[in-house]
Amino acid sequence: MKTPVRYQSPAEALSIVQSGQRVFVQGSAQTPTCLLRALAAEAPRLRDVELVFITVYGDIHVNRPDLSESFRLNSLFVSASIRQDVAEGRADYVPVFLSEIPNLFNQGVLPVDVALVQVSPPDAHGYCSLGVSVDVARSAVNNARFVVAQVNSHVPRTHGDGLIHSSRFHALVECHEPLYEARFGDKAGPEEEKIGIHIAGLIEDRSTLQMGIGAIPDAVLRSLTGHKDLGMHTEMCSDGVVDLFERDIINNRYKKIHPNKGVAGFALGTRRLYDYVDDNPAFQFLDIDYVNDPHIIRRNPRMVAINSAIEIDLTGQVCADSIGTYQFSGVGGQMDFMRGAALSEGGKPIIALPSRTAKGVPRIVPFLKPGAGVVTTRAHVHYVVTEYGIAYLYGKNLRQRAKALIGISHPNDREALERACFERFKVF
């Protein structure tokens, strides 16, 4: 017989949160906005509550300047919702590989007192789903002393590691609101489309794909309609995978790890994507310490990792998380997949970026900006792709790398880059 579920008011449920505690907040499309709005209302009774999370979206309420004595934000990845807070010193950033975040919880480096998550309604057996953001939320729930769940009928029921019995929750709050949506495909311009075509030419049939976040991965997916028997093993998937699944282009038939299943840590896109993964056994949403483990990634042959960058210098150093000292995003899973793909039989780790920003600032540069973070070292970089072509850096010396990168830079930047190359390496 199905056990009835007792729902509480947000204030009643969040009474479990006390001053000085560390509270985990689920992120991406699953950011529990109702709970965060209610938590902000609890500010008068709270002091020094640390909120830890990866990417949160929308208005999270608890980052208001007037609540800074009540809440401290400690982010493991910087998303748009808190970028200004980090820049102004109201929030902190922890550089860490995405694959290692569960260890912070598992090993007690960041003990979790309370986890705030958003889940699907209980099924006939009492199980709720973490939906499209299993990633680090699974390990946070496993380690938290208390778990408060926002139950939302808009949350997809996904297969994999995200199923949690309702009895595990210490409090349940019913709040039905649409999930956050992101439209990466709308941001693609002619440069991104050309990059997508270049990368599609590098991808062989029966390859397994990892796609990072942004317009370029979706442009790549749109260019794969002539491919066959592709697989998916990725930390994140977006709308671009739906058409390829429906056309049987991504069918996961030849994967070595989880054959016939597309593996992801989280999904971020539009409602079309969320509806497609709902109760879809072709998708497995798994704990990120497994999905992003380079030793797991490498076991799929022809693993192709596609990741973006903010800028890259002439030796191949990749800055992907900051603009100088301005923290734009985070380390994330780029290195997890770059290394895993490099070790895969026939694998291809790819860094993709337009040659210039929308404002005309060069992205291939003699030196990274002062304070820029190196997410992927020059020793890890194999392929770099811009709209002007492909540079293969693996096995090349510094002079050869510089020449290859200048060859795919914006034509108007090449003369200055050639001068910088000559000044540094005494040759061009």
CATH number at residue 39: 3.40.1080.10
Q: Are residues 161 and 244 in the same domain?
A: no
Q: Which two tokens stand for residue 18?
A: 């006390």
* Cα 92 from Cα 74, distance rounded (Å): 5
Burial 7-32 (b: 16+ CB within 10 A, else e): eeebeebbebbeeebbbbbbbbbbbb
* Cα 320 from Cα 399, distance rounded (Å): 23
Domain carrying residue 314: 185-425
Contact 261, 252 (CB under 8 A): yes
Is 403 part of any domain? yes
Predicted pLDDT at 426: 81
Number of domains in the chain: 2
What single DSSP character describes residue 204? P
Contact 342, 98 (CB under 8 A): no
Is 2 part of any domain? no
Q: Are residues 138 and 226 in the same domain?
A: no
Predicted pLDDT at 187: 72
Is 179 part of any domain? no
Last residue of a domain, one of 174, 201, 223: 174
Predicted pLDDT at 190: 92
Predicted pLDDT at 1: 44
Predicted pLDDT at 3: 57
Predicted pLDDT at 421: 94
Q: Are residues 86 and 157 in the same domain?
A: yes
Q: Are residues 240 and 365 in the same domain?
A: yes
- Shortest CA distance to 115 belongs to which of 189, 24, 179? 24
* Cα 40 from Cα 281, distance rounded (Å): 37
Is 218 part of any domain? yes
Is 55 part of any domain? yes
Q: Are residues 142 and 235 in the same domain?
A: no
Q: Are residues 358 and 316 in the same domain?
A: yes
Q: Are residues 100 and 237 in the same domain?
A: no
Predicted pLDDT at 5: 75
Q: Which two tokens stand for residue 34?
A: 């109702």
Give the β-pairing of 231-237 and 171-174. unpaired
What CATH number is associated with residue 218?
A: 3.40.1080.20
Provide the whole-model pTM.
0.95
Measured at the CA of 318, the angle between CA 263 and CA 410, to 5 degrees, comes to: 110
Q: Are residues 250 and 209 in the same domain?
A: yes
Is 1 part of any domain? no
Is 112 part of any domain? yes
Last residue of a domain, one of 174, 198, 216: 174
- Shortest CA distance to 349 belongs to which of 377, 312, 383, 325? 383
Q: Are residues 301 and 270 in the same domain?
A: yes
Contact 209, 230 (CB under 8 A): yes
* Cα 424 from Cα 181, distance rounded (Å): 46
Residues annotated as catalytic (active site), given as ranges = 235
Read off φ and ψ for residue 346, nearest 5 degrees: 75, 15
**What DSSP element (H or E) covers 212?**
none
Q: Are residues 206 and 117 in the same domain?
A: no
Q: Are residues 143 and 273 in the same domain?
A: no
Is 275 part of any domain? yes
Last residue of a domain, one of 154, 174, 194: 174
**Low pLDDT (below 70) residues in the chain:** 1-4, 185-186
Q: Are residues 333 and 306 in the same domain?
A: yes
